[in-house]
Amino acid sequence: MQSAATADVRTGTEDVLAVKALVKRYGDQTVVDGVSFHIRAGEIYGLLGPNGAGKTTIISMVAGLIPSDAGSVNILGEAMIPSSTGPKGHLGLVPQELAIYPDLTARENLRFFGSLQGLRRKELRARTDEVLELIGLADRASEQTKKFSGGMKRRLNIGIGLLHRPTLLILDEPTVGVDPQSRNSILESVERLGTEGMAVLYTTHYMEEAERLCDRISIIDEGQVQAEGTRDELIRLTGGVDRIDLRGSGNTSAAAAGLKKVPGVQRIDGGGGGLILTVLDGPSLLPAIVTGAGSAGMALTSVKITRPDLESVFLHLTGKALRD
Amino acid sequence: MTVIMAIAGVEVRRFLRDRSNIFFVFVFPLLLILLLGSQFGANSGQARVSVAGNAGTELVKSITGQLQADGLRVTHDSPATVREQLSRGRTDVGIFISDGAAAAFEAGDPADLEVVASSHSGAQAALQLVRASVQTVSTQQRQLAVLQNAGIDADTAAAALRQAKEHLDLPQVEIVDTNDVSQDFRSLGQFDLGAAQQLLLFVFLSSLTGAATLIQGRRFGVIARVLAAPVSTGQAIAGQALGRFGIAVVQGGYIMLGTAVLFGVDWGNPLLSGLVLVLFCAVAAAAAMVIGSVMDNDAAGSGLGVGLGLVLAGLGGSMVPPEFFSGAMQSASRITPHRWAYDAFATIQRHDGSLLDILPQLGMLAAMAGTLLVLGAFLLRRSLGRAL
């Protein structure tokens, strides 16, 4: 594993979840191989990897659904094993499948799973109503969920995980198969949970979701953590250079000569009535570059910054595309 | 316990949401018990006689009374209807009494009756019974005529004949069956045996089809979600089993009560019969959990449940009474919970058995239920590691 972290992000705060050297084998095949990570309160932690990378198996072990062959999972300091019920009270699981009863109503589903989490009577009623409002299904609460759209089912699936206000919320590919509007609504909800102090473990194979939501990300492939860190830290693994395309008219040669002197500009290529600059941290250099080009006599018509993304990181680390 | 009740409650609610369950669990079993009892139950061979003639005449009244006294089932219809019933096999024997015959009978003269037997095989036996009844009426009429010819008035003669019958100690014939099996079934009513057999068959069958709901729960990811909550595998399987158990007990209790009220089935001591039912339902529910944990496809699980339910019912004596089984089959039938429950019901229904008498059967059923529940919990935990 390549560690992108420049410093230990833990600052003495107790980990909500600590996973150490987790291993899972099925026969001769090792599907999870020495995975370690930790999550603090208010942190959204992403497991990013293609389908079959081992993300769901990791989550199943974290949730105590299957035993690990080696390693440990601790939730708020309590060891999680399948037979232990104590730490399970701290976590909310939103599985990839729509884990709801289609022949029960939305309210009945919420009340059932809430009762399993120890919510009773008034508290259960109140939380059910709150969650129905939160997920936008209050007006459809008495309908059997088999009549719901895919997006509505997904929202209910997430609502069930939130019902008992868990300390750690595990979301396994929660946006698979949903329309863009519902997807955006789900992502906004997850962002809000993080700001409210909930620790979130989020698995996805959508690079954009990991980039938008996650404070830290583990890139998983073939059961192993390939790299871990913040988005920017991971991107630096690829060299961390941005590309700036300058289009316009006028004296491009003079502009190129002037821009070479701007600190952070590594390379300038010309062509097609414009310049292509390879720079470190494009957004922060942009004002100096625009000013430099203008003062050298180049009249700009367009400026485009292309930043490396997690897709590039995955490609760089594994030699294959994220969605293979 | 709250968790177990919550899981069980959801199972019952889901069961009740499916309207087709109501028919197969509550209506169909009673229909089958009615059908089987009518066709094969004790007293189902009662001969049917249809009489066509003026019901107000003395001859029709005498013949009808005698036929009924001899144990035949008598109906009255028009001649055309009786002929139709005969041709369609809906009655065994038709008796056509003309007004002339009725008048001759009242005058003390010989009366001719038209008696027609249906073409089906049982009709000839019924015809013999009808002949005997008619002969009895004829003899009584002749006795009356003799007395009247001796100068006694009709009312006095009839009274004298009645008095003579009361004082006459006629020889009685009691048929004693030397066959143990026949002796065992003697005390059973028309629907008693079929009701016990069908109760066991349907309760087990309904419960096993519940395995599909557990498989669906696993497929939906609901079981995984339940087990990610502070719920142990034992609680999860106990809740699922309790739901199916509750449905089975309600179904079994309904069949017991329904057959007792509608068909007069004698279930013996209701507390003991209820205890047998409860333990049998526990075995059925636990067996459903084992199937639901082993199988990964709900359609296949339902199919296996129905198949296994029918095979076990057949082997356990819910189709043919196990008393008719060969020695090897008798031994094999004891691997089924049906056989143990059947024996317990037989002891209670036929021999007024006590709790002590059925203790071995109850013990075996309890052991089966416990073993299957533990096995179900183990298999359910293992099933979570399999991809569905």
Look at residue B15 in the predicted model and tell me its pLDDT: 84
B275-291 average pLDDT score = 93
**A278 interfacial to chain B (CB closer than 8 Å):** no
Q: Is B73 on the interface with A (CB under 8 A)?
A: no
**Min Cα–Cα distance to chain A from B127, Å:** 60
Question: How near does any CA of chain B get to the CA of A229, in Å?
Answer: 28
Residue A6 has pLDDT above 50, yes or no: no
Residue B30 has pLDDT above 50, yes or no: yes
- Report the b/e string of A158-168 with b at 16+ CB within 10 A: bbbbbbbebbb
Per-residue pLDDT, averaged over B81-86, amounts to 91
Q: A241-307: what fold? A: Alpha-Beta Plaits (3.30.70)
Beta bridge partners, A73, equal A19
Mean pLDDT value of segment A293-317: 84
pLDDT at B276 over 70: yes
With an 8 Å Cβ cutoff, is B6 touching chain A?
yes
pLDDT of residue A10: 38
Distance, in Å, from the CA atom of A99 to the CA atom of B23, rounded to the nearest integer, reads 29
At residue B338, the pLDDT reads: 96
> How far apart, in whole angstroms, are the C-alpha atoms of residue B69 and residue B71?
5
* Average pLDDT across chain A, whole number: 87
Cβ distance A112 to B381 less than 8 Å, yes or no, reads no
Across residues A310-319, what is the average pLDDT? Answer: 78
Could you give the domains of chain B? 2-41+188-383 (no CATH), 48-181 (3.40.190)
- According to DSSP, residue B356 is labeled T
pLDDT grade for A11, boundaries at 50, 70 and 90: very low
> Taking the model in full, what pTM does it have?
0.69
- The pLDDT score that the predictor gives to residue A323 is 59
Q: Does residue A22 register a pLDDT over 70?
A: yes
Residue A56 DSSP code: H
**Is the CB of residue B191 less than 8 Å from the CB of residue B267?**
no
pLDDT digit string, tens, across residues B305-340: 899 999 999 999 988 888 888 889 999 999 999 999
Confidence grade of residue B137 (pLDDT, cut at 50, 70, 90):
confident
pLDDT at A48 over 70: yes
Which 14-33 residues of chain A touch chain B by CB within 8 A? 26
With 70 as the cut, is the pLDDT of residue B50 above it? yes
Residue closest to B147 by CA, chosen among B165, B159, B135, B132: B159
When pLDDT is cut at 50, 70 and 90, the band that residue B156 belongs to is confident
* Probe site for chain B from A101, A105, A145, A154 (most B CB atoms < 10 A): A101
Determine contact: B20 vs chain A, CB below 8 A: no
Mean pLDDT of chain B: 85
What pLDDT, on the 0 to 100 scale, is given for residue B384?
65
Cβ–Cβ below 8 Å for B220 and A64: no
Region B159-180 average pLDDT: 68
In this prediction, residues B235-256 reach a mean pLDDT of 89
- The model's pLDDT over A206-261, given as tens digits with 9 standing for 90+, comes to 888 888 999 999 999 999 999 999 988 888 887 767 888 899 888 888 889 889 98
Alpha helices by DSSP H, listed for A85-238, are 106-116, 121-134, 150-162, 180-195, 207-213, 231-236
Partner-chain residue, chosen from A60, A98, A120, that has the shortest CB–CB distance to B220: A98
Predicted confidence (pLDDT) at residue B90 exceeds the cutoff of 90: no
Contact state of B6 with A65 under an 8 Å Cβ cutoff = no
Q: What percent of chain B has pLDDT over 70?
A: 91
Sorted by sequence, the CB contacts under 8 Å of residue B192 that are 6+ apart come out as: B41, B42, B265, B266, B349
Are residues A310 and A219 in contact, defined by beta-carbon separation less than 8 angstroms? yes
CB pair distance less than 8 Å for A93 and B10:
no
Closest CA to B216 of A176, A102, A315: A102
A108–chain B Cβ distance below 8 A for any pair = yes
Mean pLDDT, rounded, for B133-143: 86
Which of B214, B220, B222 best tests the A interface by mutation, with the highest count of A CBs <10 A? B222
Mean pLDDT of A308-318: 79
B152 at interface of A, judged by CB pairs closer than 8 A: no
Instruction: From chain A, pick out residues whose CB is under 8 angstroms from the CB of B4.
Output: none
First to last CA, chain A: 21
Any A CB within 8 A of B233 CB: yes
pLDDT tens per residue across span A76-125: 988 988 877 788 989 999 998 889 999 999 999 999 999 999 898 899 99
What pLDDT was estimated at residue A269?
83
Q: Pick the residue of A31, A61, A103 with the most B CBs within 10 A to test the interface with B by mutation.
A: A103
Residue A3: pLDDT over 60: no
- Given a cut of 90, whether residue B275 has pLDDT beyond it is yes
Q: Are strands A265-270 and A298-306 parallel, antiparallel or unpaired?
A: unpaired
Q: From 3.40.50.300, 3.40.630.30, 3.40.50.1820, 3.30.750.24, which CATH number describes the A2-101+165-236 domain?
A: 3.40.50.300
Q: For residue B9, how many C-alpha atoms fall within 13 Å in the half-sphere facing its CB?
A: 13
A324 band by pLDDT with thresholds 50, 70 and 90 = very low
- Do A241-307 and A2-101+165-236 fall under one CATH topology? no
Q: Return d(Cα B326, Cα B334) in angstroms, integer.
A: 13
A105 lies within 8 A of chain B by CB: no
Domain definitions of chain A by residue range? 2-101+165-236, 241-307
pLDDT band with cut points at 50, 70 and 90 for residue A7 = very low
Interchain CB contact of A113 with B (< 8 Å): yes
> What integer is the mean pLDDT of B339-355?
92
Query: Is B18 in Cβ contact with A82 (below 8 Å)?
Result: no
Query: Vertex A285, ends A282 and A288: CA angle to 5°?
Result: 145
Q: Hey, is the C-beta of A65 within 8 angstroms of any chain B C-beta?
A: yes
